């Protein structure tokens, strides 16, 4: 996965994040795949709700389907 520095993350628009509070950046396909995996882990451990995980998956899927 490409590295995302703190400065780069700060400069991303809110639309580049799939989770609440600018969490789970999905600005490219690598980050979208990672967001899906981390959201699944967070849901299984009870840190996020199933609805939040579903929303993250849906936004990440939109990024993954872009050409």
Over the chain (67 residues), the average pLDDT of each successive run of 10 is 88 96 95 97 98 98 90
User: From the centroid of its chain, how far is CA 34?
Assistant: 7
pTM value?
A: 0.90
DSSP 54: H
Measured CA angle at 61 (ends 6, 44), to 5 deg: 75
State the pLDDT at residue 15. 94
State the pLDDT at residue 67. 67
């Amino acid at each position: 996965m490409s590295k995302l520095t703190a400065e780069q993350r700060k400069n991303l628009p809110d639309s580049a994040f799939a989770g609440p509070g600018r969490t789970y950046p999905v600005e490219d396909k690598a980050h979208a795949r990672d967001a899906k995996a981390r959201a699944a882990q967070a849901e299984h451990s009870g840190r996020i709700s199933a609805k939040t995980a579903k929303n993250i998956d849906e936004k990440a899927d939109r990024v993954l389907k872009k050409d």
